[in-house]
Amino acid sequence: MAHAIKQTISNEKAGETTEMEKDIKKALELLRDEIDDIDRQIVSLLAKRQTVIENVVKLKNAHNIPVYHPAREEYLISNRRNQSREIGLNPDFVEEIFRSVIRQSRIKQTRDFARKGIRPGATVLIVGGQGEMGRYFSKYFSDSGYEVRIMGRHDWGRIEQMCDGLDLAILSVPIDKTTDLAFKLGSYLPKDCILTDLTSIKAKPLKAMLEAHPGPVVGLHPLFGPTPSNMDKQIVVVTPGRDEKACQWLVDQFIGWGTIIVRATAEEHDEIMGIVQTLRHFATFAFGQFLARRRIDIRRTLEFSSPIYRLELGMVGRLFAQDESLYSEIIFASSERRELLKDYLKSLNSNLEMIENGDKMLFKKEFKKIAEWFGPFSEQAMRESSFMIEKLIERF
């Protein structure tokens, strides 16, 4: 009898559990349907936003207004962050979403701008147009309605024909060939043709172009390779040469493609790029060289690595995945760059005594001195590097 009563109670409880599970499942389905409905509304609102963006594109296109408007973007992000705080959402999460939305909007605008030339129908000659950068810019100019002529090493026999009626001539050749080719090309160019180059040093090429060609001259340095699918927020340094007004349409074209223009004298450019490119690339090379000479097991180190080590090692590996000729040209481009690297190596060697003596106090003293010199940038560096590390963690 007692057993029968226990079995009855057990069955009743099982029945209650089953009914409860059904109720929970039904409630979950209703909530999920509500989430799906909200998600559909989000997508519809994004589509509505895109329609408005297309109207913005038409207006900017009509008046040659740049795609990238930093003040407007930061104003929008600040407003969304404030709104998220007011309603109890994580402002960092909301910012990340809107950064992505804004970037897609910029890319959309940039693609539409790429179809519009500032001077459609103008004729562009790219010397070295069969190289990677030459092909990259050839496509952009072609897509924007320009007539593009490609000149390789075997085309100098018809140089007069290729330069006839030119509006723009671009030297997209290795650094060590730019000066000679500027003189070789200059006398064939129409007087009102713009002559420019794409090299990572500016003083010597700019001087050569000014001497070789009496017309408009400007130096350009795209701070990116031929791999980006678009030029959104990519940086192009512009160094003035002669007749800036006549060169402005070329600068406007790069702005229209979404790039950020940084103006600098050739001397300032070369000094800064010595640090930004030469020193950075050589330091990365030296780190990779040391790892290779020690026969370090890279894969094993990654198993023990922090995200910051993976990020740093990723930059080292990235260097050695590319063309050695490109980096040798950048690093050994000038005697000034070689002198900079000699100073760097002397600076490293000056720490040898501290290492040999295990002088922790000297290390801390130097550390504090350098930290003071970096000042507020250290806080910015922490924020930016933390963001990159978090993204790296998400992926790996």
Please give the model's pTM, rounded to 2 decimal places: 0.73
Task: Beginning with the edge strand found earlier in the chain, give each strand of the sheet holding 260-263 in spatial order.
Answer: 147-151, 123-127, 168-171, 194-197, 217-222, 235-242, 260-263
The per-residue pLDDT for 396 is 65
Residue-wise pLDDT tens for the chain (396 aa)? 545 545 554 555 555 568 888 889 899 999 999 999 999 999 999 999 988 888 887 787 677 676 666 678 888 888 998 999 999 999 888 888 888 888 887 777 766 655 678 898 999 999 998 999 999 999 999 999 999 999 998 999 999 999 999 999 999 999 999 999 999 999 999 999 999 999 999 999 999 999 999 999 999 999 998 888 788 889 999 999 999 999 999 999 998 888 899 999 999 999 999 999 999 999 999 999 999 999 999 999 989 888 889 889 999 999 999 889 889 989 998 999 999 999 999 999 999 999 999 999 999 999 999 999 999 898 888 888 888 887 777 766
Distance CA 57, CA 104 (A): 13
SS3 readout for the chain: CHHHHHHHHHHHHHHHHHHHHHHHHHHHHHHHHHHHHHHHHHHHHHHHHHHHHHHHHHHHHHHCCCCCCHHHHHHHHHHHHHHHHHCCCCHHHHHHHHHHHHHHHHHHHHHHHHCCCCCCCCEEEEECCCCHHHHHHHHHHHHCCCEEEEECCCCHHHHHHHHCCCCEEEECCCHHHHHHHHHHHHCCCCCCCEEEECCCCCHHHHHHHHHHCCCCEEEEEECCCCCCCCCCCCEEEEEEEECHHHHHHHHHHHHHCCCEEEECCHHHHHHHHHHHHHHHHHHHHHHHHHHHHCCCCHHHHHHHCCHHHHHHHHHHHHHHCCCHHHHHHHHCCCHHHHHHHHHHHHHHHCCHHHHHHCCHHHHHHHHHHHHHHHCCHHHHHHHHHHHHHHHHHHHC
The per-residue pLDDT for 125 is 98
Phi and psi at residue 196, to the nearest 5°: -145, 170
Distance CA 285, CA 278 (A): 10
The per-residue pLDDT for 93 is 87
Distance CA 341, CA 125 (A): 36
Q: Under a CB-based contact definition with an 8 Å cutoff, are residues 254 and 261 in contact? A: yes
For residue 350, the one-letter residue type is S
The per-residue pLDDT for 3 is 52
The per-residue pLDDT for 232 is 81
Distance CA 277, CA 331 (A): 8
Distance CA 271, CA 275 (A): 7
CA atoms within 13 A on the CB side of 99: 8
